[in-house]
Structure 1
Amino acid sequence: MTLTRRQTLGGMGALGLSAFMPRYAYAQNSETLVVPTLGGVWEQFWRENIAPAFTEMTGANVTLDVGNGRVFGANLRAAGAEEPPYSIVMTNEVFAQSLRKEGFFEELDLEKMPNYADLYPIAQTAGGYGAVGTYSPIGIGFRTDMVPAPSAWKDLWKDDYKGLIGLYNFANSAGKMELLLASKIFGEDQYDVDAGFAALADLGQVIQVDFNLSTAMASGEIAIAPFDFAEIVRLKGQGLPVDYVVPEEGVIAFDQTLNILANAPNKDLAYAYANFLISPEIQEMLMRQFFTSPTNSKVTVPDELKEQVPISGEGMAAILQWDWEFVNENQNDLSERWAREVG
């Protein structure tokens, strides 16, 4: 997930939040839950808000393990499925899928996650093995002073945008989604990667990044690219002539899926934490702080945030879904083809 885009809007303080959350009597002060989390502003927010609120609710301690999906996966594989270092992992589904297939995660015990019933269907993932904790949807961002407004992903192939396009590279999950999206638009379906690679090659010269497209957009090196909506709003607030559109084919999205380890050292506490993260109160906190689209249907996006969070409610159905098993099984071949055919 993008770490540079977030500007604080406030949010409920950890201690104030505890008044709205149920307390769990089983957790003792001696218990500690190891929580893998992203770094940067995510780590800071977890350390200052999420972790204290969970401790207030349960009485348990929280230890943050900062990294990313690749790091968490490597740590789990090094330890083995029988003795995992974590009880719960929240990571991009592309990483979660392979770990799930290797037997690290269990099917969710929904009696221990009552908030799961309030998730949008799109967030009830992996056949009951996962629950999406956050979605950060991605549409099309563009420079209003350089190019005309698009209305669809397929518009990127118009002559108006030649030589001015930015993309995430294949190492980023958004790059993988770009390939599957092009395959879906120009081929039979997301699996028609021959059509997808041919379409991406037809874009001509593009600027590729692993992480941050904002610098290239601000400098005018690119004029159009897949963009997190809130990041475009941030750039606009800095005076840059930019805007975004929600493409008519739907949006791609960074996701963070909650997964419980089958041999979790502290399984009950892991379930309490998962249920905590998908509660309306925490989903609203995350929306206000990181402009994520709430996955709990009880959360309503207020009018003052609708520009930063345009995907919510019935609009959650616009988030396109992908077969990450297909991607993971063909990872090496797809990566090599990307380097060869896209650049």
Structure 2
Amino acid sequence: MAAWRDGRLTRREAIRRLLLLGLGASSAAAIAFGRPRPAGAAVPSQNFKGQTLVVTSFGGTWQQFMIDEHIPQFEAETGAKVELAIGLSKNWFAKMQAAGKDNPPYDIFVTNETYLAQLRAQGFFTPLPMDKVPNLRYVPKALRQPNDVGVLGLVGPLGIAYRTDLVKDPPRSWFDLGKYGTKTAIFSIGNSGEPQHVMKMAQAISGDYKSWKPAIDWIASHLCQARQVDFSGTELTMMTQGEVEVGMIDSPDWALMKAKGLPVAWVLPKEGYCGMFEQDMNVTAGSKVKDLGYAFINYWLSAPVQKKWAEKFYWTPANSQVSISPEVARLIPVTPDQLAKIPRWDYIWLNGSGAREAMTDAWNHQL
């Protein structure tokens, strides 16, 4: 196992080789993960041999982390097979709608709440029973959906980042973004982060986030020179190269820059965060392997697994029992006690009332 210890083998490959040597799945997993499994550990005790769980997953580094680090222990201990449905939220949403809630293409649907709220209201997801997802008891109420029909398992709040070597007058408010002209980055209206920005500005201007037109007017007047980015990765590149110096961004992406040594600071605006890129975890109502789905979400919410995601991608863990090192903690600026500063928007209203379409139309005409 020296190759596993020094990083030359992934956990999946280490477990596979141990199984070829004749070890049982539980023993192989215990060796590959470097310690006996204590009571209350991440892996469920049920045997789901022969069952397959279909889970939505983004591609790229997310997919690879799922394959190398997240899935192997779960598969080895349960006997189940996890199949990743690689894609994008909008496509998963469309496939769910087309298939209907009784015949879903996925057993586990994980993505941003903006794409899930309408499906939840239409009955596409089932409540998470506490006796089958016991790690829910460690998740703050602010991250649990009503009646536990879903849980926000990973949290990436939207705040402001800036280059400390280039900005002499740091931002303290969302309104300060208007001071930096072409050196400011905001999202394009097609990114789910920008409607959250609009609603936050509306809330700050009038107290009513559903009265969004004054917010569009303010953004058109004060951020007309700002660089609009399609997703956070574009902003990371631009901020790294100095093309932009200030921008709204999610905390995990700020942390990625900080971890690479870029001189960037994180700002909690005085009005609070404008929202988040969260990962909302759900079991589909029509799944034929619901118990396996509950076990998978319980596994994802466990402290050891949540810690792995925090250490790799700097997500704020949902499990309040997670203990992370000081080195990692400095890259996760949003702690459980700050969750109240993250607004929870009404996505049923945004996506179902015509507000989003009208917001997009106004944005395209004015910006």
Instruction: Answer yes or no: same fold by TM over 0.5.
Output: yes
For residue 222 of structure 1, give the secondary structure of its aligned residue in structure 2: coil
Q: Which stretches in structure 2 are left out of the alignment for 5+ residues?
A: 1-6, 13-28
Query: What is the aligned partner in structure 2 of residue 340 from structure 1?
Result: 365
**320, 324, 330: which is aligned to 1:307?**
330
1:269-288 CA distance string (max 9 Å, x none)? 11111111111111111111
**109, 117, 136: which is aligned to 2:137?**
117
1:60-80 CA distance string (max 9 Å, x none)? 111111112112112212222
Q: Structure 1 pair 47/194, CA: closer, same or farther in 2 (3 Å)? A: same
Work out the percentage of aligned pairs sharing the same amino acid: 30
Letter in 2 for 1:283: Q
For residue 135 of structure 2, give the secondary structure of its aligned residue in structure 1: helix
Give the CA deviation at 1:333: 1.5
For residue 276 of structure 2, give the secondary structure of its aligned residue in structure 1: strand
Alignment of 1:220-235 (within 5 A): 220-235=242-257
For residue 163 of structure 1, give the secondary structure of its aligned residue in structure 2: helix
Cα distance in structure 2, aligned partners of 1:260 and 1:80: 14
Runs of 4+ in 1 over 6 A off after TM superposition: none
Cα distance in structure 2, aligned partners of 1:271 and 1:200: 43
Query: What is the aligned partner in structure 2 of residue 154 from structure 1?
Result: 175
Q: Which stretches in structure 1 are left out of the alignment for 5+ residues?
A: 1-8
In 2, are the aligned partners of 1:90 and 1:133 still within 8 Å (CA)?
Answer: no
The higher relative CO (CA closer than 8 Å, separation ≥ 6) is in: 1
Letter in 2 for 1:207: R
Cα distance in structure 1, aligned partners of 2:278 and 2:254: 19
Cα distance in structure 1, aligned partners of 2:85 and 2:163: 38
Cα distance in structure 2, aligned partners of 1:53 and 1:103: 31
Cα distance in structure 2, aligned partners of 1:219 and 1:53: 39
Cα distance in structure 2, aligned partners of 1:236 and 1:51: 28
Matched, 1:288 2:308: no
Cα distance in structure 2, aligned partners of 1:246 and 1:88: 32
Query: What is the aligned partner in structure 2 of residue 50 from structure 1?
Result: 70
Letter in 1 for 2:149: Y
Q: From the CA coordinates, give the structure whose radius of gyration is larger.
A: 2
1:280-323 CA distance string (max 9 Å, x none)? 11111111111000111111343111221011131232222211
**81, 85, 88: which is aligned to 1:65?**
85
* TM-score (ref. length: structure 1): 0.89
Letter in 2 for 1:105: F
- Number of residue-to-residue matches in the alignment: 329
Matched, 1:189 2:235: no
In 2, are the aligned partners of 1:301 and 1:309 still within 8 Å (CA)?
Answer: no
Q: Structure 1 pair 21/233, CA: closer, same or farther in 2 (3 Å)? A: closer
The CA RMSD measured in Å over matched residues stands at 2.2
Cα distance in structure 2, aligned partners of 1:64 and 1:280: 23
Alignment of 1:189-208 (within 5 A): 189-203=208-222, 204-208=224-228
For residue 322 of structure 1, give the secondary structure of its aligned residue in structure 2: coil
* TM-score (ref. length: structure 2): 0.83
Query: What is the aligned partner in structure 2 of residue 217 from structure 1?
Result: 239
